[in-house]
Structure 1
Amino acid sequence: MTDFLQLPSLRTLSVTDSGDAYTIEAESTQSLQQCPGCQGARLYRHGAQPQTYRDAPSHGKPVRIQILRRRYRCLDCKQTAFDPIPDLDGKRRATTRLVAFVCARSFSQTFAAVAREAALDAKTVRQIFADHVARLSQQVRFETPRVLGIDELKIIGAYRAMITNVEHKSIFDLRASRSKADLLTYFKNLPDKDRIQWVTMDMYDVYRQVVRATLPQARIVVDRFHIQRMANEVLEKLRKNLRTTLPERERLKLKDERFLLLKRQHDLDPLPMQQLDAWFDRFPQLNRAHALKEGFLSIWDAHSRADAEARFKVWRGHIDPELQEGFKALTTAMRNWYEEVFSYFDNRITNAYTESANSLTRLMHRMGRGYSFEVLRARMLYDERARQATRRILETAARREDTVGMAYFTRATARSRVAERRIIEYGPSIEVLVRQLEAGDFE
């Protein structure tokens, strides 16, 4: 008959099914051979003690194991000890299998849901997960990115810094603070920081100061969508101001034309373009602002940095006095971030995946209300399936020296190459995390 528990160090004696749970009577398959205190071998049986442990659910039911555990006393040092059962966790009344079950489930379910499934207290689940995360933080190291993305998000009452590996579309880290002092310390102590060649970010000057101070070799690229959005915001503000001057029916119509105004003109069909032309005939200022928006966005259609800079110079000269105030924030940003904006044309990277990671984190936070920042960070960084998607194995080969002759050497080395394998982790894949979220794996 198959042993119910299937644990090497325990033997099932009986199984009781109460309908909503299993109770297992078991005994140890091993006996104590050496005193854990003095390492002596002069031991004798010193009674037994009943103990109860929780095991991972089976057939959807909680499992409780009852063990009459043998106790021994050392004749030399008089110390007592129980028979060894490696399948039991050394910190709590649970099997190592249950601890592994809780750790795995806690990455995709709330602590309350895991607690119900395993018949544990939610506090116990939280403690098991915290211990697991502490081990992971010591064991798991992500390769420092060549192209790094940095952005901020506000969750659990504070602004946090999201750091990504742009090339591998993965999360590198999620920091508790985006403050300058914290980020300076973080990047100053970052292992292999000289690997970082590019950093993409929005126009938050603290990030630029931190990168210049700690990563002098890295070039900064402003995310193109942040600067382009400023041109759309100018047009949006003008549209809203015009709506206040219109009767209700036309006000609603101009509200509906918002997406036509923001869409690139070359992507519009003839009919929508005619709708816009009707507004442009009535409001020449809207027409000029729209043309400036289109002209600004066309800078990123350039094939080279020189072409892009030339287009910007022409565009800036076409801002008429009536619209200069509206475009002031944009022209100021271009002046203050000129080098970082046009560095895009030297390496066309964006911060889009960092933005995706931010959105993902916010959704996970909403689904796991009550989680601390540390728990949320752990669920983002240490998800096994997401990490596996970007994991790489590098192999290097070693050869023997030629001691007999070239002919022998050629044959021997073909057989005796010793491959050294190194596992490299680039961080959890953002795309895999998004797919898991969409599939409901984090509910």
Structure 2
Amino acid sequence: MSQRQLMRTHRIGSATTLVDLKHHKVFDVVLGRSEGSLRAYLKRLPGREHVRVIVMGLSETYRRIAQEYFPNAMIVADRFHVVRLVNQHFLKLWQQHDPEGRKNRGLLSLMRRHHWNLSSVQKERLRQYLAQSPVLQALYFAKQQLNGFLVMKSLKRKRAQKMMPQFLALIAQFEQSPARALAQTLKSWLEPIVRMWRFTKSNGVTEGFHTKMEMLSRRAYGFRNFENYRMRVLAQCGWNGVINRV
């Protein structure tokens, strides 16, 4: 691995996939997803001290693994997973405030989407619905404001520093609301999340590999031998002609 090697871990059943985000290829697939099951592999992994960036979902297990075995790497939260977490928390709160409205598929589609992507007609329909519940309305627009921060990327350092007080103030508002659990998670992952503003890589590449890997498994009606599965993945998802077993 080079000094600019980008790696990411992703759960696939009971396996962990390491992906090179720079060269868009699967680096390896390792059986297990806990620190105990990955310890022997990671200790022998050559060049791990040169890894500079690791992109991951908000998994405490993988964060601890990254901190221990990749001491020089900067952890960056994956934007898709952060936005999804925010939306999941909001949908749960919506369910609590209006269980019947939550069942409406049309409203569900509007609630899930970014407000700035809605048409004027859709915005008006949503406005009329939210006007019936001031608490839900406040939560919705706070969620939209939060997502507005989360989707930003490629920011210059000065602009990112200027945005920080606003971002922290918004999280503080969530702490005083029914979304306090979300605020606690955001605070726990604050640095990796803020790094998304400067770092453009995401796990979209890995999600694509994940789909290919699931197709490989289905075509083979599952794999009884993990090593056969691993070699097939390496061959189909970026194998460079050399298979090294660490």
Normalising TM by the smaller chain, what interval? 0.7 to 0.9
Q: Aligned match of 1:229 in 81, 84, 97?
A: 84
Q: Secondary structure at the match of 2:54?
A: strand
Indicate the residue corresponding to 1:146 in structure 2.
5
Equivalence map 1:175-324=2 (5 Å): 175-244=30-99, 246=100, 254-300=104-150, 301=152, 303=155, 304-319=159-174, 321=176, 324=177
Indicate the residue corresponding to 2:233 in structure 1.
380
**TM-score computed with the length of structure 2 as normaliser:** 0.85
Report the residue type matching 2:168 in the other structure: K
Q: Partners of 1:340 and 1:317 in 2: how far apart?
A: 18
Q: Secondary structure at the match of 2:19?
A: strand
**TM-score computed with the length of structure 1 as normaliser:** 0.49
Q: Which has the higher helix share?
A: 2
Count of residue correspondences? 238
Q: Secondary structure at the match of 1:369?
A: coil
**In the TM superposition, what whole-angstrom CA distance separates every residue of 1:100-138 from its partner, at most 9, and x where no partner exists?**
xxxxxxxxxxxxxxxxxxxxxxxxxxxxxxxxxxxxxxx
Q: Partners of 2:201 and 2:243 in 1: how far apart?
A: 18
How far apart are 1:275 and its partner, in Å?
Answer: 0.8
How far apart are 1:242 and its partner, in Å?
Answer: 4.4
Q: Partners of 2:175 and 2:63 in 1: how far apart?
A: 32
C-alpha contact 1:161 1:175 (8 A) present in aligned 2 = yes
Q: Partners of 1:228 and 1:169 in 2: how far apart?
A: 23
Q: Partners of 1:144 and 1:164 in 2: how far apart?
A: 15
Which structure 1 segments of 5+ residues have no match? 1-141, 392-423, 428-443
Indicate the residue corresponding to 1:363 in structure 2.
215
Indicate the residue corresponding to 1:345 in structure 2.
197
How far apart are 1:359 and its partner, in Å?
Answer: 2.7
Q: Partners of 2:181 and 2:212 in 1: how far apart?
A: 30
Equivalence map 1:351-430=2 (5 Å): 351-372=203-224, 373-383=226-236, 387=238
Q: Aligned match of 1:165 in 20, 45, 58?
A: 20
**In the TM superposition, what whole-angstrom CA distance separates every residue of 1:231-289 from its partner, at most 9, and x where no partner exists?**
21122123333443x4xxx675x332111111111111100111101101112222111
Q: Secondary structure at the match of 1:161?
A: strand
Q: Partners of 1:169 and 1:280 in 2: how far apart?
A: 43
Q: Partners of 2:216 and 2:134 in 1: how far apart?
A: 46
Equivalence map 1:93-132=2 (5 Å): none
Q: Partners of 1:338 and 1:200 in 2: how far apart?
A: 14
How far apart are 1:426 and its partner, in Å?
Answer: 11
How far apart are 1:320 and its partner, in Å?
Answer: 7.8
Q: Secondary structure at the match of 1:382?
A: helix
C-alpha spacing 1:319/1:371, structure 2 compared with 1 (3 Å): closer
Report the residue type matching 1:331 in the other structure: A
Q: Secondary structure at the match of 1:162?
A: strand
Q: Partners of 2:197 and 2:175 in 1: how far apart?
A: 28
Report the residue type matching 1:352 in the other structure: G
C-alpha spacing 1:363/1:239, structure 2 compared with 1 (3 Å): farther
How far apart are 1:297 and its partner, in Å?
Answer: 0.7
C-alpha contact 2:171 2:186 (8 A) present in aligned 1 = no
**In the TM superposition, what whole-angstrom CA distance separates every residue of 1:328-361 from its partner, at most 9, and x where no partner exists?**
2321112212222222233222122222222322
How far apart are 1:184 and its partner, in Å?
Answer: 2.6
Q: Partners of 2:106 and 2:115 in 1: how far apart?
A: 16
Q: Partners of 1:307 and 1:333 in 2: how far apart?
A: 22
Which structure 2 segments of 5+ residues have no match? none
Report the residue type matching 1:259 in the other structure: S
RMSD: 2.7
Q: Secondary structure at the match of 1:282?
A: coil
Greater relative contact order (CA < 8 Å, ≥ 6 in sequence): 2
Identity %: 20
C-alpha spacing 1:382/1:228, structure 2 compared with 1 (3 Å): same
C-alpha spacing 1:338/1:387, structure 2 compared with 1 (3 Å): closer
Q: Partners of 2:174 and 2:185 in 1: how far apart?
A: 15
Report the residue type matching 2:94 in the other structure: R
C-alpha contact 1:365 1:371 (8 A) present in aligned 2 = yes
Q: Partners of 1:168 and 1:370 in 2: how far apart?
A: 28
**In the TM superposition, what whole-angstrom CA distance separates every residue of 1:359-398 from its partner, at most 9, and x where no partner exists?**
3222322232142232222211123xx547xx5xxxxxxx
C-alpha contact 2:4 2:53 (8 A) present in aligned 1 = no
